[in-house]
Amino acid sequence: MRKLGAVLLTGGICVAAGYLLYWFFSAVAESIPVPLRVAIVAAAIGLLLLVLSIIRDRLKASKEEEAFREVQR
């Protein structure tokens, strides 16, 4: 259930972000030069990749820590 919820949440966020980027570049950003548009998209993709990398690392670390949950101090 938790994985399905995460997939649905991620999918919804991606669709909303894609729609907002489309709206921004089609309606609002007509006067923004193309190199600046490319830079904005590159920064957004880079941020997304960093966030996904952090999430993946945290999930991997939590699986490794499961073996030590029963250890008492």
Asked if residue 73 belongs to a domain, the reply is no
Residues 6+ apart with CB under 8 A from 17: 44
Higher pLDDT, 25 or 16: 16
Residues 6+ apart with CB under 8 A from 29: 37
**pLDDT (0 to 100) of residue 12:** 92
**pLDDT (0 to 100) of residue 50:** 93
Q: Which whole number is the average pLDDT over 12-18?
A: 89
pLDDT tens readout for residues 18-67:
888 788 777 776 777 888 888 888 898 898 889 889 988 988 888 777 76
**pLDDT (0 to 100) of residue 71:** 67
Structural domain including 59 reads: 2-68
Distances (CA, A) of 39 to 11, 33, 45: 24, 10, 10
Asked if residue 35 belongs to a domain, the reply is yes
User: To which H or E segment does residue 14 belong?
Assistant: helix 2-23
Q: What is the pTM of this model?
A: 0.57
Amino acid at 12: G
Amino acid at 68: F
Asked if residue 25 belongs to a domain, the reply is yes
**Count of the separate structural domains present in the chain:** 1
